[in-house]
Amino acid sequence: MSELRVAVLGVGMMGADHVARLTSRIAGARVSVVNDYVAEKAEQLAASIPGCRAIADPLDAIADPDVDAVVLATPGPTHEKQLLACLEHGKPVMCEKPLTTDVATSLEVVKREAELGKRLIQVGFMRRFDHEYAQLKSLIVSGELGRPLVMHCAHRNPEVPPNFDSSMIVKDSLVHEVDVTRFLFDEEITSVQIVKPSANPAAPQGLQDPQIAIFSTATGKHVDVEVFVTTGVAYEVRTEVVGERGSAMIGLDVGLIRKSAPGRWGGEITPSFKERFGAAYDVEIQRWVDAVKVGETTGDYTDGPGAWDGYAAAAVCAAGVQSLETGQAVQVEMVARESIKGA
Amino acid sequence: MSELRVAVLGVGMMGADHVARLTSRIAGARVSVVNDYVAEKAEQLAASIPGCRAIADPLDAIADPDVDAVVLATPGPTHEKQLLACLEHGKPVMCEKPLTTDVATSLEVVKREAELGKRLIQVGFMRRFDHEYAQLKSLIVSGELGRPLVMHCAHRNPEVPPNFDSSMIVKDSLVHEVDVTRFLFDEEITSVQIVKPSANPAAPQGLQDPQIAIFSTATGKHVDVEVFVTTGVAYEVRTEVVGERGSAMIGLDVGLIRKSAPGRWGGEITPSFKERFGAAYDVEIQRWVDAVKVGETTGDYTDGPGAWDGYAAAAVCAAGVQSLETGQAVQVEMVARESIKGA
Amino acid sequence: MSELRVAVLGVGMMGADHVARLTSRIAGARVSVVNDYVAEKAEQLAASIPGCRAIADPLDAIADPDVDAVVLATPGPTHEKQLLACLEHGKPVMCEKPLTTDVATSLEVVKREAELGKRLIQVGFMRRFDHEYAQLKSLIVSGELGRPLVMHCAHRNPEVPPNFDSSMIVKDSLVHEVDVTRFLFDEEITSVQIVKPSANPAAPQGLQDPQIAIFSTATGKHVDVEVFVTTGVAYEVRTEVVGERGSAMIGLDVGLIRKSAPGRWGGEITPSFKERFGAAYDVEIQRWVDAVKVGETTGDYTDGPGAWDGYAAAAVCAAGVQSLETGQAVQVEMVARESIKGA
Amino acid sequence: MSELRVAVLGVGMMGADHVARLTSRIAGARVSVVNDYVAEKAEQLAASIPGCRAIADPLDAIADPDVDAVVLATPGPTHEKQLLACLEHGKPVMCEKPLTTDVATSLEVVKREAELGKRLIQVGFMRRFDHEYAQLKSLIVSGELGRPLVMHCAHRNPEVPPNFDSSMIVKDSLVHEVDVTRFLFDEEITSVQIVKPSANPAAPQGLQDPQIAIFSTATGKHVDVEVFVTTGVAYEVRTEVVGERGSAMIGLDVGLIRKSAPGRWGGEITPSFKERFGAAYDVEIQRWVDAVKVGETTGDYTDGPGAWDGYAAAAVCAAGVQSLETGQAVQVEMVARESIKGA
């Protein structure tokens, strides 16, 4: 399979974001089909993407022969039926949370996939793919902190939509820390308690915010989570794992900070230019590829540093090499840019 | 043009990295031709990439009709001839630094491109595409710091190849700060002085390391750069801009830190989940696309969280919603995973 | 009263520390009497301090006419009787925690002092005098964070004495967060829950460590505290207050960090040299005073920078002023130190 | 000598600060004489300090038999004569910078002290007594960073008095980095260059600000210093030492940060409560001593936590110990404060 043909079902904020991602930033895939319960929205989107069609019925979209795999960004209540259709057609599906909206139907989906004997379903718990969470997981697995004993989390949003209710804080926000706990500790949560402090007056009427969740896990680990979705400040997601021999924290906007023997705190320095500037190289090349395509019409095939910048660097470095010998300040010799028409 | 066909010339460390990038992480492009002066290396690489050929002569590669654009990762002394060939064929080229190895030929390249009237050449100063440098540039442009007056840079490598000599510190390492200065200040460097402190005994015999470079710019800004390439510690690239009304620093491994009135220091908190987890979504989808392709042979179409993880999250959230009502700890009810064959 | 004459009762680790403090670092007081249930220890200490006597009976020490005020660093079970004696003699007393060892006797002490109508008793909750806690309190009072809603604390010790038991974690460690809560929030704690996670195997047999304490306050604020006294790492005391309009954290070894609108995190820069180097001036002068006294016997009346350092600074600055005019590097002219016998 | 009797000469901002320090925070010394060229100022100050006289002539003050040692905070041009008088009378003197105002007279003072054979003079380079500089010096001496090669300094003031001129930046501001260099590297500075970037428009007319100073030392170490005294932001003093095997920085408002193998950056966690709260204990006891003295007139012998705070802590801890057994939330039982008249 040279290029994966993906159907994106549901093209609201989340789904449209996935369409843009698959079209502009992901290698080896393209969006072949889009679907939305607002048919016009899907049709307009399809028209803007080469080789993409809108299909009105989600089950038809799943079944379509031009679809290798499915991204599900539809409302939660429709997930069960759509997931079962994907399983039926043997099509891999990346399903935004929740899997389904209740425990019984989620279990049903698990059973049907298990019967098939193929792992076709992925759930959109994207924090597992975040660099800091991956670092934290590696650190735990390395054993440097000893066995984890306690975890403290904070999950803060500046604001929520007006119709947000108290149980949505659990199901839409806290659910991420549920998965983080299971991912980092590799065990199940066995008990949950929600503590309700005096509420933020800036929260919508009737919303219990903040909430404090306390998890206990199968082996007796303690997790506490502050979920506070009307802080007015910013988006803050912080996780600290406390182990037998040290602790580590992510989400302070300063990378992973560890505290471990012998009494030092700190982070890691990027080991080489690949880690430090790897993402910059990706951005550089993606933007160059995009600019070259645009260049066909504009005659300007780059929006990055050009030949003049290369010349100027050469002139400065030549002066530098000369100064390296003499130790004196050396004037940089360059022609005036205006003297070259078109440069 | 639906998919940009790129020739990568020179497939050493840097070029091979670009091949991998174009093949696995960049949307809308593919490597159609590779070339290296070690012909076997290019041939082996081409064989591993669908639709890619090795072409022995770099000028033939540039001219090939199956090539829309060129990435130049060949040794510097060959750049001039290859760049001129690209210009001749009207093909956009992304040229790793240096543009050419001396000032005169660099100027010649500038002139030839100017005559063409198309900006076809981009030089590989990738720091301009780094998130922190982009933030710093935006901050300068915003005027919050006032006009920049002074810049301090540190450029540290843990080690260098054995054949590294003193002038390469200028031409290969310091050259990045040359471009950073020109990029951030948007003016030319007019004078350069290299100060030679007592050398690090761990540096190779004869290598002047560290070096301190002092730049003066057209409007009298002062820039100092410590280049120290045998620190034994890590890769550290730090830049601090001091303006009339405040200063900002990047490269401390903690994001951009600004100091400005009224006497506070600090950084920005990620405003929303898009900025905080945008890269995680990209990784999630790229890995899913890759896994789905591999799944054809293994039957396992995901290496991420699966249906069981979705079920477990549902069960924990259900207990959470119940606790939200009672305030008491609620036991999580889940079937045993072993009870479902294949889950 | 020109110099306060203080009796220190109990000269174990804590009491001996107070004796040293009162003798060497506190202005306007001296230790006139020491007492310990190990009489020899008190006698030896008294012999080393000019004008200080050991008195064998703590109640005699309190009553002694050469005593203006009392520091109580005796074991907790003796506090009640000693505090009541201080009240009886109308002598101010600084009592290390706990006030007494149970609630009923503490209340009795409160009542007796209230009957006297003088506030003679201070309890040794020293965190109230720590710079960071004082900053945090000021920030809360300023209203910048809005009303506090939640507080997260961590209280970690690298190790504890072998006889430490689970209830001592509450009474000796957690008690500080009890006072911090009451101090910062200015209201009483109304309910306490201790959660017992799976214990650290490195903790002494039978010790429940870590413990998680959950406080609820009179107005419904939530406080959680991780007390973990066998971390093996270091002494960490961290406090984060989350308010309606922002949060602030101390104890990260980086000063007070606040997060408040508009989406920035950070700390304050020292406003002037007085705040930055005020403590350095104190140390400079205290060490100079101490050195001058020692100088009587050694002939060396300073252990700080001397006249030569002043001369060298003058020579360098003179060269600097010359360079300020010319912009060139100027050689510093100094005589050789060896040429001046005795310099 | 039980109590050092100090004459403070010059009671402007700096001298008055030393008087307050010696009177209220320094153990074992008192101010017996004050002098100022504005005689009334000295007399008013003397009247407020028990046992202190004003003496109109500085040389008389030095000679006075009630003076054991001298603090010199007079204008620089008077230092030479006053220092020589101190030497003549064999009295230790703590001299605010500069030693004298030119190189020749400084050398003369050095020679006279050397002839005496006693180290009587200390110069007020207070940074040597700052915790962070002391840490940095210890780190250098420990050898962890290898031999220092390079040092970068920044010295920033928000503003300067209107009469400040360019050479004062060298003699009053940069002089601190002169001493820091000599203190940290333990060798002399051999050459100085002042670079003059384009000036800050907010600086007073004619003031060259910022200035960049470049020092070279006897063994070829390189030091650069940005002195910028009209930043408008705050007081920032930063020093980074780069050695053969790592680097360390102070002055970022986050303590000493080191970068050393194996590729980690970070600081130290306070090892025990003594380091973390040692200063808090000093403040607690000094304030208690001061409050007790005031209490004689007010009847309130403490401004710290009192008996009620001790009772409240006991009540909360009792509930905590009970919860430790049951794991359940326990209500705290306390009497109402209002029920105890006077509590």
Cross-chain CB nearest to C260 (options A149, A233, A246) = A233
Confidence of residue D260 (pLDDT cuts 50, 70, 90): confident
- Chain-chain contact of B224 with D224 (C-beta, under 8 angstroms): yes
Contacts of B265 in chain C (CB under 8 A): 266-269
Handedness of CA A197, A198, A199, A200 (dihedral sign): negative
Cross-chain CB nearest to D222 (options B195, B234, B259) = B195
Going residue by residue through chain B, which has 343 residues, state the pLDDT in tens, using 9 for 90 and above: 578 999 999 999 999 999 999 999 999 999 999 999 999 999 999 999 999 999 999 999 999 999 999 999 999 999 999 999 999 999 999 999 999 999 999 999 999 999 999 999 999 999 999 999 999 999 999 999 999 999 999 999 999 998 899 999 999 999 999 999 999 999 999 999 999 999 999 999 999 999 999 999 999 999 999 999 999 999 999 999 999 999 999 998 889 999 986 788 999 888 888 889 999 999 999 999 999 988 888 888 988 999 999 999 999 999 999 999 999 999 999 999 999 998 8
- Chain-chain contact of C232 with A261 (C-beta, under 8 angstroms): yes
**pLDDT score of C235 more than 70:** yes
Which of D103, D222, D233, D337 to mutate against chain C (most C CBs within 10 Å)? D103
Report the gap between the CA of C9 and the closest CA in chain D (Å): 15
Q: How many CB atoms lie within 10 A of CB D296?
A: 11
What is the rounded (10 degree) CA torsion for B172, B174, B178, B180? 100
Bridge partners (DSSP) listed for residue D153: D225, D239
Chains with ≥3 Cβ pairs under 8 A against A?
A: B, C, D
Contacts of D264 in chain A (CB under 8 A): 264, 266-269
From CA B10, how far away is CA B35, in angstroms rounded? 6
Q: What is the pLDDT of residue B41?
A: 97
From CA C128, how far away is CA D288, in angstroms rounded? 13
- Chain-chain contact of A265 with D266 (C-beta, under 8 angstroms): yes
Q: What is the pLDDT of residue A343?
A: 87
Which of C23, C122, C208 to mutate against chain D (most D CBs within 10 Å)? C122
Q: What is the pLDDT of residue B156?
A: 96
From CA D230, how far away is CA D228, in angstroms rounded? 6
Residues in chain C: 343
Tokens of B152: 């301090």
DSSP string, D64-92: -TT-SEEEE-S-GGGHHHHHHHHHHTT--
Residue of C nearest to A223 (CA): C197
Q: What is the pLDDT of residue D53?
A: 98
Q: What is the pLDDT of residue C157?
A: 95
Q: Give all strands (DSSP E) within chain B, no chain letters.
A: 4-9, 29-35, 53-54, 69-72, 93-95, 121-123, 148-156, 189-195, 211-217, 222-228, 236-243, 246-250, 257-260, 264-268, 330-331
Residue of D nearest to A270 (CA): D263
Top-confidence residue, D296 or D96: D96
Contacts of B253 in chain D (CB under 8 A): 265
- Chain-chain contact of D284 with C124 (C-beta, under 8 angstroms): yes
- Over its C-alpha atoms, chain C yields an Rg (Å, rounded) of 26
Contacts of A195 in chain C (CB under 8 A): 214, 222
Contacts of D235 in chain C (CB under 8 A): 269-273, 275-276
Contacts of D257 in chain A (CB under 8 A): 266
With tokens 């360079």, the residue in question is C323
Top-confidence residue, C275 or B154: B154
Interface contacts B/C by beta carbons within 8 Å: 29
Cross-chain CB nearest to D268 (options A257, A264, A269) = A264
Contact status, residue A122 vs residue A237, Cβ threshold 8 Å: no
Q: What is the pLDDT of residue B1?
A: 55
Name the DSSP class of C100.
S
Cross-chain CB nearest to D265 (options A259, A263, A267) = A267
Which of D180, D292, D333, D341 to mutate against chain C (most C CBs within 10 Å)? D292
Tokens of C112: 């007796």
| Phi and psi torsions of C135, nearest 5° | -60, -45
**pLDDT score of D1 more than 70:** no
Cross-chain CB nearest to C253 (options A150, A247, A265) = A265
Which of A191, A195, A268 to mutate against chain D (most D CBs within 10 Å)? A268
Q: How many CB atoms lie within 10 A of CB B23?
A: 19
Contacts of C259 in chain A (CB under 8 A): 233-234, 236
Q: What is the pLDDT of residue B270?
A: 86
Q: What residues have CB less than 8 Å from A24, skipping those under 6 apart?
A: A286, A290, B27, B28
- Over its C-alpha atoms, chain D yields an Rg (Å, rounded) of 26
DSSP string, B201-230: TTSPTT---SEEEEEEETT--EEEEEEES-
Contacts of B327 in chain C (CB under 8 A): none
From CA D123, how far away is CA A8, in angstroms rounded? 75
Top-confidence residue, D31 or C273: D31
Which of A242, A264, A328 to mutate against chain D (most D CBs within 10 Å)? A264
Residue of A nearest to D272 (CA): A263
Share the mean pLDDT of chain C: 95
Confidence of residue A173 (pLDDT cuts 50, 70, 90): very high
Instruction: Give D100-132 pLDDT, tens digit per residue.
Output: 999 999 999 999 999 999 999 999 999 999 999
Report the gap between the CA of D149 and the closest CA in chain B (Å): 7
Share the mean pLDDT of chain A: 95
Environment class of residue A129 by beta-carbon count within 10 Å: exposed (0-12), middle (13-18) or buried (19+)? buried
- Chain-chain contact of C233 with A224 (C-beta, under 8 angstroms): no
Contact status, residue A286 vs residue B71, Cβ threshold 8 Å: no
Cross-chain CB nearest to A244 (options C200, C214, C222) = C200
From CA D193, how far away is CA D65, in angstroms rounded? 47
- Chain-chain contact of C285 with D342 (C-beta, under 8 angstroms): no
- Please tell me whether residue B109 adopts helix, strand or coil conformation: helix
DSSP string, A259-281: EETTTEEEEEPP-SHHHHHHHHH
Report the gap between the CA of C320 and the closest CA in chain A (Å): 18
Cross-chain CB nearest to A114 (options B211, B313, B343) = B343
Instruction: Give A21-60 pLDDT, tens digit per residue.
Output: 999 999 999 999 999 999 999 999 999 999 999 999 999 9
Confidence of residue D178 (pLDDT cuts 50, 70, 90): very high
Q: How many CB atoms lie within 10 A of CB B87?
A: 20
Q: For the whole model, what pTM was predicted?
A: 0.94
Task: Please provide the distance, in angstroms rounded to a whole number, between the alpha carbons at the two ends of chain D.
Answer: 45
Confidence of residue C343 (pLDDT cuts 50, 70, 90): confident
Contacts of B245 in chain D (CB under 8 A): 202, 231-233
**pLDDT score of C142 more than 60:** yes
Q: Which of C289, B40, B297, C309 is nearest to A118 (CA)?
A: B297
Q: What is the pLDDT of residue A262?
A: 73
Cross-chain CB nearest to A259 (options C201, C236, C265) = C236
Instruction: Give C95-132 pLDDT, tens digit per residue.
Output: 999 999 999 999 999 999 999 999 999 999 999 999 99
Cross-chain CB nearest to B253 (options D152, D234, D265) = D265
Contacts of C89 in chain D (CB under 8 A): none
Q: What residues have CB less than 8 Å from D233, skipping those under 6 apart?
A: B245, B246, B247, B259, B260, B261, B263, C269, D156, D158
Report the gap between the CA of B95 and the closest CA in chain C (Å): 38
Q: What strands lie across the sheet with B69-72, from one edge to the other? A: B53-54, B29-35, B4-9, B69-72, B93-95, B121-123
Q: How many CA atoms lie within 13 A of C103 on its CB side?
A: 14
A60-75: b (≥16 Cβ within 10 Å) or e = ebbbbeebbbbbbbbe
Q: What is the pLDDT of residue A157?
A: 95
Contact status, residue D324 vs residue C194, Cβ threshold 8 Å: yes
Name the DSSP class of C171.
I
Report the gap between the CA of D41 and the closest CA in chain C (Å): 22
From CA A246, how far away is CA D73, in angstroms rounded? 50
Contacts of A307 in chain B (CB under 8 A): 83, 99, 106, 109-110, 113, 121, 123
Contact status, residue A153 vs residue A183, Cβ threshold 8 Å: no
* Chain centroid to CA A224: 23
Contacts of B87 in chain A (CB under 8 A): none
- Please tell me whether residue B327 adopts helix, strand or coil conformation: coil
Give the ipTM.
Answer: 0.92
Q: What is the pLDDT of residue D146?
A: 96
What angle (nearest 5°) sits at the alpha carbon of residue D180, between those of residues D179 and D184? Answer: 120
Classify B214 in phi/psi space as left (phi over 0), alpha (psi -120 to 50) or beta.
Answer: beta
Tokens of A158: 């500046």
With tokens 């950070």, the residue in question is C266
- Chain-chain contact of C150 with A246 (C-beta, under 8 angstroms): no
How far CA D165 is from CA of C14, C81, C337, D176, in Å, comes to: 52, 66, 32, 17
The one-letter amino acid code at B49 reads I
DSSP string, C195-252: E-PSPPTTSPTT---SEEEEEEETT--EEEEEEES--SS--EEEEEEEETTEEEEE-S
Classify D237 in phi/psi space as left (phi over 0), alpha (psi -120 to 50) or beta.
Answer: beta
Report the gap between the CA of C2 and the closest CA in chain D (Å): 8
DSSP string, D305-319: --HHHHHHHHHHHHH
> Interface of chain A against chain C, CB under 8 Å?
147, 149-150, 152, 154, 158, 195, 197-202, 210, 212, 214, 216, 219-222, 224, 226, 228, 231-234, 236, 242, 244-247, 252-253, 259-261, 263, 265
